[in-house]
Structure 1
Amino acid sequence: MAEMSQKTMETVQRWLNDPTVDEETKKELRSLENDPLELEERFYRDLEFGTGGLRGIIGAGSNRINKYTVGRATQGFARYILESHRGEGKPSVVIAHDSRHYSPEFAVEAALVLAGNGIMAKLYPSLRSTPQLSFSVRHLGASAGIVITASHNPPEYNGYKVYNSEGGQLVPHEAERVIASIQEVDSFAAVKKLTREEAEGQGLLVWLGEAEDQAFVDTVAGISVNRDLIASSLGEDFKIVYTPLHGTGNIPVRRVLETIGFKNVYVVPEQGQPDAEFSTVKSPNPEEREAFTLAMKLGEEIGADILIGTDPDADRMGAVVKNGQGEYVVLTGNQSGAIMIHYLLSQLKEAGKLPENGAVVKTIVTSEMGAAIAKHYGATVFNTLTGFKYIGEKMTQFKKSGQFTYLFGYEESYGYLAGNYARDKDAVLASMLICEAAAYYKGQGKTLYDVLQELYGQFGYFLESLESRTLKGKNGLAQIQAIMTDWRSNPPEEVGGIAVQEVLDYAQGLDGLPKENVLKYMLADGSWFCLRPSGTEPKIKLYFAVRGQSLEDAEKKMSNLSGRVMARVDA
């Protein structure tokens, strides 16, 4: 075991000697005794609890997600909840889970640890979406929420996300307290836990169901701005193909679309059922064209007007429409966001319901096109760091101060929310809104592609792209840090002949935002690019944005900008 550090050896031995660790887990670890590199990867650190919670590969080890790391995290979270609880009666936590391996088991594990700490766990018995969890925390007046999901990560991953009493993911100052609380849990023996029978008998484990499901569906459907029109005429012959990509979206998306009046919703049969292996796709990610292969085939067969897809926990939505040549085009998150802002704000204005103090919130890596449209309708635009938790935090600030009325928030990574019912992105709502917009414009003889071209003509040809490099494990983490250090200490003066006008280093805490390891370079022609290590995956992401006089001009600028930046990153 020469390649294993002394610390790792000691940690492995501690797991093997721990009476609270089951025999199956110990057997898995013993099977790896001739693979020191694998043991080093599994034990060189504790799985990091970031602002989004835990996310990692399933398996035995301190740097893996398993019932022990979930139990320890829940014990720390329970302490935080008990210290923070100010209301009357027992604190309570809503728990939901997706279709991944061990998601139901991890959800029950979390519930029984909460119960062991005297906290009531309100648990959904089968898969539910992340946005429904956010809604339910608010709707049921819970102290907090937990969702077991790894979003659109590969099948070997799972995750554990925690939510505050507002239904939002923890922002840094909250997460820091939870992390400190988890670090105090120095052994698995310190994790308090009841059996399922004890928890149910003491009223500390409560099962949620149809009443909560219906409340969520009714609330989302209530955001529709042209419900009567869809129900009376537009929904009759409008055809939607939908893929839930083997995840949690199937039932809520169909229920909401039917509720507002869509009659022809076709679910891709091969992808309708939950499947922890996501066996029909390379990645269950609606950001990728490949995820829509089967949906496009079905769309051609039935003559669909729009194709939509949601990721496994149904917080991200992707849409596919036909261009002028009748070919399928996958809309980017920025394009879908721009269309939805335009549709929502124009319809509210037409109905005389657009508030004077309306606000649209986006992230620092999201296109400026949506911002330009929002300002056109008189809305104030706010920028946040990447992560919907920051958009949720803004929503809560608006609600408390009354200074602004929240209208819409979105990220380029296919996350959208309208309405005040949740504090996380909602693919169920986004599916409804994009289909409603498509049906409305079809009534005017236009496709969403036509609408997008009109918006480009009016506001400019905005073009964005995203590049990422996956660098796994201990060495990958070091490489990502080296790239950030290089660009921070040696910023370019120009890129492709265009001067760099400003370097925004968000690690310094700019514009009143929390500190984050993000670099953004503003160029003289209005273009920009941004380097950001992912908080949930072993990746560094690079965002690029340009604005051209025409699509051709924008594409030329993009090729120049991204090509030169990526050449330096890869070098």
Structure 2
Amino acid sequence: MEKFVLENYNKWLTSDYIDLKDREELENIKTNEKEIEDRFYTNLSFGTGGMRGVRGVGTNRINKYTIRKATQGLANYILEVAGDKGKEMGVAIAYDCRIGSEEYALNSALVLAGNGIKAYLFKSLRSTPELSFAVRELKCISGIVVTASHNPQEYNGYKVYWNDGCQIIEPQASGIVNSVNDVTSFDQIHIITKEEAIEKGLLEYISEDIDTDFIEAVKRQIIHHDIPGKEDFKIVYSPLHGTGGRPVKRVFNETGFKSVYIVAEQEQPDGNFPTCSYANPEDPAVFKLSIELAEKVGATICMANDPDADRIGVAVKDENGEWIYPNGNQIGLLLMNYILENKKDIPKNAAVVSTVVSTPMLDVVAKEKNVEIFRTLTGFKFIGEKIREFEEGKYDATFLMGFEESYGYLVGTHARDKDAVVSTLLIAEMAAYYNSISTSIPKELEKLYNKFGFYREGIIAVTKKGKDGVEAISKIMSNLRNNVTDSLIGKKVISKRDFSLGYNGLPKSDVIQFVLEDNTYITARPSGTEPKIKYYFCITEKTEASANEKLAKTMKEFEAFVD
């Protein structure tokens, strides 16, 4: 074990700043060198959107001390760029159902208050899109949401937003990162008690009026208000133990969906996620209880949100009685197509914003519909940035919708982050409308494929934990960057897009994309929030069977190549 690791460990073990309970946790790992190294070999990275990690005591863990450090860095940045005005504007704070979230959110508020910056704190858990909404409604300079999205239950995280309700981008992103990194000791952190913060008017709990305003903004995105049979159209919904239950149930009730069945076992918020330790709506396994309920009540659609309610997954029953799980690209295509075919008064300069790893089929469909597509780097903050640029007149474009292949969608501009509340409502509306005209989501998806070709997408996510994992991921990216030139998996490389050098005007990013001679797309991207590297694949064929076969073959060959 390296000397500095042990020094960091002993510093925390003996510091009066660390609570006695937390020092006892460190005492318990005294003979476990591997655990000490993993907790203290580095500081938990505060990236360009925030940080995410395993809960625990240590510099490389999420805990109230690393949360305080991050918030002190944010406070220093606010004071530097906005001074007294920033203090008055304040920061909105929300948190989800995860273990520690409420404590971390309160600690964030008390550090801000300790720096004279007003903190607006939700009284109980709220969704990420509502935090985005609240930042602009309250005219705050910044926002914080404590969440680890869909990660396993041992994780938590911290995301930062700026005054437009969007996750931080440049120049705020690097400015805040540098400011956080400049906080190197506990005595640089200013924190006061909850009672003192309230007494000084520096901690204010957010009124439930914001909830109503958010719901009303979501409801304004409805396209068909009067759908025959809507009240009787059966829907199964699950918040997966997260924050979506209350707002989604409310919006369903207020828009005339009266036959909504909630999965009782997953309705209450619970950071232990007892029925689905990986509460990720991308995973068909989370729909087990939903489908059991759907079969019992006769529903043909199930929807589930992730814990902070910014993403949605769907299961639908096809005409053969089989349950299918549309992927994130398919849901986005269906939603875009539904909006374009049914929404009135779509502006001539309407634009859809997606990412460089989302399906190329999007461009083909949009072209036929005379809608412009804007591509951004992965991360919904870049889609939020485009909304702002549209509004500022940088482009002659009006935002229609945005989506990521990772099951995140936004319709409307009430939020500047993906919003599963509005997405759940509109997907329910789409399903009910199609049912009223004797079609369905599976049939409409089939129509798109028959018209535009059978596109298939796949993802391989490889987790490599710890210090060795970081080095392994770096080596993989270096090999792809330097050693793949003319061909890949036996096919000619038509285009090699190295985003680390900048591509098509986008910011530099550690992403590399290969377009092969048969219109196959392969993209490699290390995760910015997890110890993972992800490989994205997209192929196209003339038939469904050949497309499925080609995708499986492509993924298998590439995986063997990387190994």
Asked if Structure 1 and Structure 2 have the same fold, meaning a TM-score greater than 0.5 normalized by the shorter chain, the answer is yes
2:344 aligned with 1:346: no
**Pair 362,216 (structure 1): closer, same or farther in 2 beyond 3 Å:** same
CA contact (8 A) 1:495 1:564 kept: no
Q: How does 1:292-311 map to 2 (within 5 A)?
A: 292-311=287-306
* Equivalent in the alignment of 1:214: 212
* Equivalent in the alignment of 2:360: 368
**Among 174, 180, 183, which residue is 1:182 paired with?**
180
1:162-189 deviation per Cα after TM superposition (whole angstroms, max 9, x unaligned): 0010111112432211111112212111
What's the Cα RMSD here?
A: 1.3
CA contact (8 A) 2:459 2:536 kept: yes
Distance 2:160 2:489 in 1: 43
* Equivalent in the alignment of 1:503: 496
> Aligned letter for 1:390?
F
Distance 2:125 2:296 in 1: 30
**Among 247, 253, 267, which residue is 2:242 paired with?**
247
Distance 1:209 1:549 in 2: 55
CA contact (8 A) 1:32 1:38 kept: yes
2:197 aligned with 1:205: no
Distance 1:553 1:85 in 2: 58
Superposition TM-score, scaled by structure 1 size: 0.96
**Among 19, 24, 49, which residue is 2:21 paired with?**
24
**Pair 492,298 (structure 1): closer, same or farther in 2 beyond 3 Å:** farther
Cα drift, residue 454 of structure 1: 0.5
Distance 1:371 1:354 in 2: 18
> Aligned letter for 2:12?
W
**Among 369, 372, 388, which residue is 1:377 paired with?**
369
CA contact (8 A) 1:115 1:121 kept: yes
For the residue of structure 2 that corresponds to 1:373, the secondary structure is: helix
1:304-326 deviation per Cα after TM superposition (whole angstroms, max 9, x unaligned): 13110000000110111112311
**Among 235, 248, 266, which residue is 1:271 paired with?**
266
Distance 2:440 2:348 in 1: 30
1:524-550 deviation per Cα after TM superposition (whole angstroms, max 9, x unaligned): 111111011111111110000011111
Q: How does 1:383-532 map to 2 (within 5 A)?
A: 383-401=375-393, 403-491=396-484, 493-532=486-525
Distance 2:490 2:330 in 1: 28
> Aligned letter for 2:407?
Y
* Equivalent in the alignment of 1:236: 231
CA contact (8 A) 1:42 1:63 kept: yes
Cα drift, residue 52 of structure 1: 2.1
Cα drift, residue 397 of structure 1: 0.2
> Aligned letter for 2:185?
S
Cα drift, residue 496 of structure 1: 4.6
2:37 aligned with 1:45: no
CA contact (8 A) 1:62 1:69 kept: yes
Distance 1:329 1:544 in 2: 20
Q: How does 1:143-158 map to 2 (within 5 A)?
A: 143-158=141-156
Task: Figure out how many residues of one structure are paired with residues of the other and give that number.
Answer: 561
CA contact (8 A) 2:87 2:117 kept: no
CA contact (8 A) 2:354 2:403 kept: yes
Distance 1:496 1:197 in 2: 63
1:108-128 deviation per Cα after TM superposition (whole angstroms, max 9, x unaligned): 000000001111111011110
**Pair 89,278 (structure 1): closer, same or farther in 2 beyond 3 Å:** closer
CA contact (8 A) 1:82 1:91 kept: no
* Equivalent in the alignment of 1:540: 533
Identity of aligned residues (%): 45
**Pair 492,284 (structure 1): closer, same or farther in 2 beyond 3 Å:** same
2:27 aligned with 1:34: no
* Equivalent in the alignment of 1:314: 309
1:88-124 deviation per Cα after TM superposition (whole angstroms, max 9, x unaligned): 8713111000001110000000000000111111101
> Aligned letter for 1:517?
D
Distance 1:179 1:501 in 2: 37
Distance 1:20 1:488 in 2: 45
Distance 1:235 1:194 in 2: 52
CA contact (8 A) 2:241 2:268 kept: yes
**Pair 68,507 (structure 1): closer, same or farther in 2 beyond 3 Å:** same
Gaps of 5+ in 2: none
> Aligned letter for 1:299?
A
**Pair 497,13 (structure 1): closer, same or farther in 2 beyond 3 Å:** closer
Distance 1:186 1:478 in 2: 25
Gaps of 5+ in 1: none
Q: Which consecutive segments of 4 or more residues in structure 1 shift more than 4 A? A: 86-89
**Among 278, 285, 290, which residue is 2:285 paired with?**
290
Distance 2:322 2:138 in 1: 45
Cα drift, residue 147 of structure 1: 0.4
CA contact (8 A) 1:172 1:514 kept: no
CA contact (8 A) 2:153 2:277 kept: no
Cα drift, residue 560 of structure 1: 2.3
CA contact (8 A) 1:544 1:562 kept: yes
For the residue of structure 2 that corresponds to 1:439, the secondary structure is: helix
For the residue of structure 1 that corresponds to 2:504, the secondary structure is: helix
CA contact (8 A) 2:86 2:117 kept: no
